[in-house]
Structure 1
Amino acid sequence: MPYFGLFLSDFSYRSTLLEIDQLQHGSFTQALLDGLRIAGAGNCATVERLDRYLQSTVPTINQTHQKNPQHPYATAEPATKLHLILLPDYATLADITQIKIDAYEAEVKGDWELAKQLWIRVNVAARGSDMQAIEAFSRIFLRQGESSAPPKNPEPLPNSGRSGISEPAPTAHQSELQVFQFEIVKVNASGQVVKRDTSKAEYFTEDLGNGVSLEMVYIPDGTFLMGTEDEEIERLVQKFGWDGFRREKPQHEVKVQSFFMGKYPVTQAQWKRVAALPKVNRDLKADPSKFKGDKRAVEQVSWNDAVEFCDRLSSLSKYANKQYRLPSEAEWEYACRASTNTPFHFGETITTELANFNGDSTYASEPKGKKCGETTEVGSFPPNGFGLYDMHGNVWEWCQDNRHDSYKGAPRDGSAWIDNDNQTRLLRGGSWFSNPENCRSACRLSFSCVSRYDLIGFRIVCAAGRTL
């Protein structure tokens, strides 16, 4: 069974008995209480995060109140269990995913009791609705030789507090979901890599036949600032000489529901499979792209073509009532930013080591790069924090929305803004032909819904409900 403990080192016995008068607690107790109250970003839902918080906070409190130093530390058995969930109510999707991986590993090793306890933690955090956990209980009971049916809603862990998570995992049939791991890269204004992190995301696969599939990545719900602040817009207009940046204001808060998004722009192989399906509303060319390659993004497709692709794919899907569509502009920007607020999800700039764009131009103080002059295979560059590839450059991506010259009156719920007869539609992300300033997370472009160019493609989304 995994366990953990929190301890103090480098202190005298006498010092542990002394409260800090202003706090009516010792520093360790005060830090522990504060840490357990933190909600949202920076919460202490896991042993590891609580340990980090205590290590930084306790010495600060002692120093502030001129007390002897105390240095907390956590221990767990096994040591890898420092990520165990303490507060299910504040657990994130990444927290839950890691426990699932540990639970599967315990099953593989035949440690059924450990596996059961880990799956209980998963299901508590998911409010008793995690299908993978419920199916795991059945497997474990069978392996342990128990004849009684497994409980669908296992008892919460002792002292686990409230159940549920602030960033819920997908509620669809989770047995269909898989996990992939990826590296996230951050750069400074000079284009130098300053940070590398490893992350995980969940996804499902739509089988298109003939060895071709389409991966859809889970995007958690959340709130973000859409657009660009006025001062930054004026700086961009002055530096790059284009008034179109003013379409990115006013910056405004948008709440987005969870959804699934294509891991990559739609490829030529995927396009060919879906274009061969029966017509819904319009004909599709089987091979419209200028730059050929099954793993390259499809291009020279109009907004109308992309909508037809979604309609045909929806009719093919093995998942009942699964409706594919183009993303709303808000969904696209939210997914691109992946919890960042910098011009690019990579940081303050981009380089041609990170994306396919016109490297003859620069955005900040990075050196010039190469200029491909054509599309590249999808997934050739690092992904963002949600595990999405090619969100900057390669091909512009169609969105549902009509063109609007500002965000005045825009929806705040993440839905598409379609309220006029204008047949001009929005595109996002930039392309192989674009200068870097036009590849920013917030940049907006628009073309007629019938336009077809070798720098325009698309990616698709679908709802994250119980329709998988």
Structure 2
Amino acid sequence: MHQIQQERITAFNEALRQQQEAAERRRQLIFTLPNDGGDLEFVEIRKGTLNLNGREIHLAAFRMSKYPITQRQYQAIMGNNPSDFKGDLDCPVERVSWNDAKAFCKKLSQEPVMAGQKVYLPSEAQWEYACRAGTTTKFWFGNSDNDLGKHAWYDGNSGRRTHSVYEKAKEHENFWGLVDMHGHVWEWCADNWTNNTNELPNDGTRLTKGGNSSLHPIRSGLCNESTGNCRASYRGYFSSVDYYFYLGFQVVLVV
């Protein structure tokens, strides 16, 4: 009996230790921004392989922001809020050009809270790998267009406007813990634009040699788009200086 009780105590202590370690890892992924910017939370993305149009891309581990960058976060770092859909600072920031998004990354990287860690826009490969979360279907939750309304903001349920990233976070969270990877706002990627995805680097880093350096990819779809444009594989592009009410972004940290 004494041995059984001891084994239970040992098992309990081990479970508690693992919970504490997991909580500490999560804590290390949350950065409290200055100027009332709230918390910027990241998710650990493990290394792995993305099948992109029949080609394997092998990605190193990285960290990706759990939500699209919000108006609150952007305003705290950049000092302004360019968004059309104002009223709730926890909505995604939009009307952000690629140049603006890059400037945000640079400025955030210089904040003491980041402790020297460099912030970047995701590469296209990183974005799609994170969006799919280990799946190969049209959306991370499957192939059914009818289910998109349960897991994303698009033209069928959004009222053609943005919403707080926390409003339906549980329903919109993919298998790796990322929210709003389909719909809501277009999200900038770091690469030069290319029509041919075979030009994207085999290691999942951004395309900088080749492609069109004046144009850059967008992913995700948006709150007033149909289901087809919200697919994990759907690609579009705009120029470096374009900004519209549906252009936003997420950020990554290199591990």
- Tell whether 2:81 aligns with 1:287: yes
What residue number does 1:177 align with? 25
What residue number does 2:163 align with? 376
- Tell whether 2:67 aligns with 1:264: yes
- Tell whether 2:117 aligns with 1:318: no
Query: Does 1 or 2 have the higher relative contact order (CA < 8 Å, sep 6+)?
Result: 2
Is the 8 Å Cα contact of residues 206 and 317 (structure 1) preserved in structure 2?
A: no
Please, which of 219, 227, 233 is the counterpart of residue 442 of structure 1? 233
Please, which of 150, 153, 177 is the counterpart of residue 353 of structure 1? 150
CA–CA distance in structure 2, aligned partners of residues 387 and 338 of structure 1: 9
What residue number does 1:422 align with? 213
- Tell whether 2:2 aligns with 1:102: no
What residue number does 1:339 align with? 134
CA–CA distance in structure 2, aligned partners of residues 403 and 295 of structure 1: 30
Please, which of 211, 225, 235 is the counterpart of residue 51 of structure 2? 225
What residue number does 1:205 align with? 30
How big is the shift at 1:352? Answer: 1.4
Deviations 1:377-402 (A, max 9, x none): 11324300110000000001000011
Aligned pairs, how many? 243
- Matching residue's letter, 1:324: V
Deviations 1:190-236 (A, max 9, x none): xxxxxxxxxxxxx611111326120011111111212xxxxxxxxxx
CA–CA distance in structure 2, aligned partners of residues 223 and 430 of structure 1: 23
Q: State the TM-score, normalizing by the size of structure 2.
A: 0.87
How big is the shift at 1:411? Answer: 1.1
- Matching residue's letter, 1:204: L
CA–CA distance in structure 2, aligned partners of residues 222 and 100 of structure 1: 29
CA RMSD of aligned residues (A): 2.6
- Tell whether 2:228 aligns with 1:433: no
How big is the shift at 1:403? Answer: 1.3
SS in 2 for 1:425: strand
CA–CA distance in structure 2, aligned partners of residues 378 and 308 of structure 1: 22
Q: 1:328 to 1:100 in 2, by over 3 A?
A: farther
What residue number does 2:186 align with? 396
Q: 1:371 to 1:269 in 2, by over 3 A?
A: closer
SS in 2 for 1:178: helix
How big is the shift at 1:251? Answer: 2.9
- Tell whether 2:203 aligns with 1:413: yes
CA–CA distance in structure 1, aligned partners of residues 237 and 141 of structure 2: 24
Structure 1 unmatched runs, 5+: 5-76, 85-98, 108-131, 133-173, 180-202, 227-249, 277-285, 360-369
Q: 1:101 to 1:263 in 2, by over 3 A?
A: farther
Is the 8 Å Cα contact of residues 37 and 75 (structure 2) preserved in structure 1?
A: no
- Matching residue's letter, 1:449: S
SS in 1 for 2:203: coil
CA–CA distance in structure 1, aligned partners of residues 198 and 46 of structure 2: 26
Structure 2 unmatched runs, 5+: none
Please, which of 216, 220, 223 is the counterpart of residue 42 of structure 2? 216
CA–CA distance in structure 2, aligned partners of residues 302 and 208 of structure 1: 22
Deviations 1:396-424 (A, max 9, x none): 10000111111233211011112245311
CA–CA distance in structure 1, aligned partners of residues 131 and 191 of structure 2: 17
SS in 2 for 1:214: strand
Q: State the TM-score, normalizing by the size of structure 1.
A: 0.49
Report 1:127-166 matches (<5 A). none
SS in 1 for 2:64: strand
Instruction: List 4+ stretches of structure 1 deviating above 3 A.
Output: none
